[in-house]
Structure 1
Amino acid sequence: MNMIDNALGVHAQALGLRSKRMEVLARNIANADTPHFKAKDVDFASVLKQTRQDALNTTSNLHMALPMEENPGGEKYRVPFNASFDGNTVEMNVEQAKFGQVAADYQTTLNILENRVSGIRRALRGD
């Protein structure tokens, strides 16, 4: 299993994170008319850094541990550009733009993984 993880690199983890971010953005869009709903987003870079096993290796058990974030899932509330009267912080144009960007990033990561898997298949077949 470790050999497969090495072959796919960080892209396998990135695909899962991008999928989670699309779910959060879709939840924001679905609740655009819900009073007092607070829009969230996932800080992709910080979550990916946390999930990497080689982010920080200590050489001694006497080293201080990094403080853990209060939200390990990386979800953070978004600050709206324009305040709403009903307390909802979802801005449809922002959410749709971010969703489109994340969908394109997801497809790119999926293509990278597909290329890596097809390369492994060719190597196994001896092509």
Structure 2
Amino acid sequence: MDFNNVPIMQMMTKKMAWLSHRTEVIAQNVSNADTPKYNARDLKPVDFRELVSREAGPRNGGPRLTNARHMTGTTRATMGFDTHKTPDKFDTGINGNDVSLEQQLTRLGETQLTYQATTNLYRKHLDLFRIALGRGR
């Protein structure tokens, strides 16, 4: 069975990819904390609830087109991860650098906790599939 076609698994994989990329962006910010005129960046937030509801469209168990006069529902969209300058500048230094190490480390901690929770949830879903397939743990 290919778990990549299960919508909830796709969403968790997408979220883990977003969190991994956010960790890279935060690491770049921290490494440039002393670079003159460097502006801190962050990933644009992705609404994963909207993404899940979009994924539950016609192809994935949602409403199906049974009559040509019926509406087809939503279509699947691709999601890219875009970065942007962080709008909340805590303290801009004399050299024009606006990286706040405290803010970056807080974001890193939040990102790590969310990643751990997502991987635990992913693992639990895999366990449920194994049980359903009769393979147990």
TM range (shorter): 0.7 to 0.9
Equivalent position amino acid for 1:15 in 2: M
Equivalent position amino acid for 1:54 in 2: R
Unaligned 5+ segments in structure 2 are 58-70, 73-79
Q: Is the 8 A contact 1:18 1:44 kept in 2?
A: no
3-state DSSP class of the match of 1:76? Answer: strand
- Identity, in percent, stands at 22
Identify if the C-alpha distance between structure 1 residues 87 and 103 changes in structure 2 by more than 3 Å, giving closer, same or farther.
Answer: same
The structure, 1 or 2, with the larger RCO (C-alpha pairs under 8 Å, 6+ apart) is 1
Give the Cα–Cα distance (whole angstroms) in 2 for the partners of residues 35 and 118 of structure 1. Answer: 49
Larger Rg: 1 or 2?
Answer: 2
Give the Cα–Cα distance (whole angstroms) in 2 for the partners of residues 50 and 24 of structure 1. Answer: 24
Give the Cα–Cα distance (whole angstroms) in 1 for the partners of residues 11 and 103 of structure 2. Answer: 28
- The residue number in structure 2 matching 1:14 is 15
Q: Is the 8 A contact 1:38 1:88 kept in 2?
A: yes
Identify if the C-alpha distance between structure 1 residues 120 and 101 changes in structure 2 by more than 3 Å, giving closer, same or farther.
Answer: same
Identify if the C-alpha distance between structure 1 residues 103 and 126 changes in structure 2 by more than 3 Å, giving closer, same or farther.
Answer: closer
Counterpart selection for 2:108 from 95, 99, 107:
99
- TM-score, structure 1 as length reference: 0.73
- TM-score, structure 2 as length reference: 0.69
Equivalent position amino acid for 1:101 in 2: E
Identify if the C-alpha distance between structure 1 residues 50 and 89 changes in structure 2 by more than 3 Å, giving closer, same or farther.
Answer: farther
Equivalent position amino acid for 2:84 in 1: K
After superposition, what is the alpha-carbon deviation per residue over 1:72-104, rounded to whole angstroms, capped at 9, x for unaligned? 532110131222111111100100111111110
Q: Is the 8 A contact 1:78 1:89 kept in 2?
A: no
Q: How many residues of Structure 1 are paired with residues of Structure 2 in the alignment?
A: 113
RMSD of equivalent CA atoms: 2.7
- The residue number in structure 1 matching 2:54 is 54
- The residue number in structure 2 matching 1:63 is none
Please tell me whether residue 109 in structure 1 is matched to residue 110 in structure 2: no
